[in-house]
């Protein structure tokens, strides 16, 4: 079991800080000050914002990576999470990684700081912060400012989603996660496949996908009776046509409306006024 998965087993573990493996002692005035520790304050005020959680209870995890290794973490309930939390570390450069999500992570696969989602699992609503902090002096400070690491694609049709529900809808991509410790949250290649299972009350459909390296993301339409693939919508090509930035710190959402009668697809970046039109199939 990985460090991240241990923390996310319960809603009680909402903030975690991993510190240096070796014990660090405080200094007195008479002692040589070279081996003295650094007091690193991690500021959680930026992650307690409602935009990360909505109406759900939020979870905050912060990990501190240092050259000499890692050891314990400290956990808080969200309601008890302090704005500032002091960490005693050896004087060195450190990398602080924070992961924010609004409910326990589902069946993701964790390998160190790499977070991937296996075939059949939808990526969680995850926001990530990663930065290097200079801890070579007596005091250091880090403000956690997580960034959105998923696209939400909202789908509907001219029948308020009724036509979409006639099919099994499968999202397929070639990127299945990211490295949380990398400053640019480097995407990890691997198969991403998820069958959409939930619909909202208005009949629309939404699905989350991780940061994509390529433009091959697609939505496959399969018949429900004999499970035949009847056509494919190249979502990656739609997204590319909007000019979206695959390397943006915060990934944008998309709205896609399919007109089955006219075989047209209308694509709009969330909160933008303009939309693009494509042919669904020939």
Q: Are 210 and 192 in contact, with CB atoms under 8 Å apart?
A: yes
- The residues spanned by each domain of the chain are 3-25+34-148, 150-279
Is this structure's pTM higher than 0.85? no
Residue 68 CA neighbour count, 13 Å, CB half: 12
Calculate what percentage of the chain has a pLDDT beyond 70. Answer: 70
What end-to-end distance do the CA atoms of the chain give, in Å?
48
**Paired residues of 148 in beta bridges:** 127
Tell whether the model's pLDDT for residue 15 goes beyond 60.
no
Tell whether the model's pLDDT for residue 257 goes beyond 90.
yes
Q: Which residue has the higher pLDDT, 276 or 182?
A: 276
> Over the stretch 201-223, which tens digit does the pLDDT of each residue have?
566 789 999 999 999 999 999 99
Q: DSSP string of 11-22?
A: TT--------SS
May I ask the CATH class of domain 150-279?
A: mainly beta
């Amino acid at each position: 079991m990985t460090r991240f998965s241990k923390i996310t087993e319960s809603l009680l573990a909402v903030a975690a800080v991993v510190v240096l493996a070796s014990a660090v002692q405080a200094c007195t005035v008479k002692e040589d000050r070279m081996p003295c520790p650094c007091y690193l304050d991690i500021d959680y005020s930026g992650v307690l914002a409602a935009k990360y959680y909505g109406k759900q209870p939020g979870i905050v995890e912060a990990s501190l990576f240092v050259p000499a290794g890692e050891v314990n973490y400290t956990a808080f309930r969200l309601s008890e999470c302090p704005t500032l939390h002091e960490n005693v570390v050896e004087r060195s450069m450190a990398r602080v990684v924070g992961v924010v999500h609004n409910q326990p992570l589902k069946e993701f696969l964790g390998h160190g700081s790499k977070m991937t989602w296996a075939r059949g699992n939808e990526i969680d609503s995850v926001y990530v912060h990663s930065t290097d902090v200079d801890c070579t002096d007596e005091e250091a400070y880090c403000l956690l400012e997580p960034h959105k690491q998923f696209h939400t694609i909202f789908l509907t049709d001219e029948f308020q989603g009724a036509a979409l529900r006639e099919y099994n809808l499968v999202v397929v991509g070639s990127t299945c996660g990211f490295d949380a410790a990398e400053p640019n949250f480097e995407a990890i290649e691997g198969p991403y496949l998820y069958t959409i299972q939930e619909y909202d009350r208005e009949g629309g459909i939404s699905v989350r996908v991780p940061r994509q390296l390529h433009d091959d993301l697609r939505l496959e339409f399969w018949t429900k009776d004999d499970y035949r693939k009847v056509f494919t919508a190249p979502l990656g090509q739609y997204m590319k046509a909007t000019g979206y930035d695959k390397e943006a710190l915060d990934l944008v959402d998309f709205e896609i409306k399919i007109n089955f009668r006219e075989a047209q697809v209308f694509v709009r970046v969330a909160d933008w006024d303009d939309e693009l039109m494509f042919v669904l199939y020939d």
